[in-house]
Structure 1
Amino acid sequence: MAMVEIEKVIIVEGRSDKKKLESIISEPVEIICTNGTLSTARLDELVDELYDKDVYILVDSDEAGEKLRKQLRHEFPKAEHLYIDKMYREVAAAPKHHIAVVLLSANIDVHAQYL
């Protein structure tokens, strides 16, 4: 059986964010955790790895998330930035239906039960 080439990549901050997205998304998507920060070496690796992929950035609506978003915006100028409502502050704290709507607006398939 041939391996499916994953075209979409979502960059998140933490493991809990990744687990939440994995439960909502219904298509093959690679989810990369930064664990809040990225070394220059790891960032360079990611730029090379993700060169021809559709990159989405979904980080927390807090100071650390905005700092990471700014860094990623510089390295991935063509990436699509996804935002959760500021009232939830963290991706992991946002309701699944809210995240599903955010993902769907970026043409990422989600399980129907979250809509």
Structure 2
Amino acid sequence: MMVMILEKAIIVEGLSDRKRVAEIVKEPVDIICTNGTIGISRLDELVDELFERDVYILVDADASGEKLRRQFKRELPNARHLYIDRKYKEVASVPYRDLASVLMAANIDVRGEFLEKEGLP
């Protein structure tokens, strides 16, 4: 069985973040969930796995998200960090249109209908 390695990867914290991003993104992208925290061994695996790929960090605007962001800045210095408006706190609670705009600004192809949508589903 052949495993296809996608060019782009987005790292998120939770499963609800992953689901939200997957709904919006139009192009094939690997969405990796850290489940809020990440151990040293898993971080090392990710660094190896993501070598030479376009990596985007999209974490919550809270203390645990900032801690993860700092870890990834050290271990994946070439990753691009995407930021949500702090008022939403969690990626999963960002309105579709706003999240689609953040992703589109990072050159990630998004479904057009999400640029139109207001608020939460």
| TM-score above 0.5 | yes
Question: TM-score when scaled to structure 2?
Answer: 0.91
Identify the residue that residue 119 of structure 2 maps to in structure 1: none
Paired residue for 1:65? Answer: 65
Q: Determine the C-alpha separation between the residues in 2 that align with 1:22 and 1:79.
A: 19
Equivalent position of 2:98 in the other structure = 98
| TM-score, normalised by the number of residues in structure 1 | 0.95
Match of 1:52 in 2: 52
Q: Separation in 2 of the partners of 1:111 and 1:23?
A: 8
Cα deviation, residue 52, structure 1:
1.1
CA deviation vs aligned residue, 1:5-37 (integer Å, no higher than 9, x gap):
410000000000000000000000000000111
Q: Distance in 1 between matches of 2:5 and 2:42?
A: 22
Q: Which amino acid aligns with 1:7?
A: E
Summarize the alignment of residues 1-115 of structure 1 with structure 2, pairs less than 5 Å apart: 5-115=5-115
Structure 1 counterpart of 2:95, one-letter code? P
CA RMSD of aligned residues (A): 1.2
The alignment covers a number of residue pairs equal to 114
Distance in 2 of aligned mates of 1:15 and 1:42: 17
Supply the distance in 2 between the matched residues of 1:3 and 1:51 (Cα, whole angstroms): 16
Q: Secondary structure at the match of 2:91?
A: coil
Structure 1 residue ranges without an equivalent (≥5): none
Please identify runs of 4+ aligned residues in structure 1 that moved more than 2 A.
2-5
AA of the residue aligned to 1:113 = E
Percent same amino acid among aligned pairs?
58
Supply the distance in 2 between the matched residues of 1:3 and 1:47 (Cα, whole angstroms): 18
Unaligned runs of 5+ in 2: 116-121
Q: Which amino acid aligns with 1:72?
A: F
SS at match of 2:56: strand
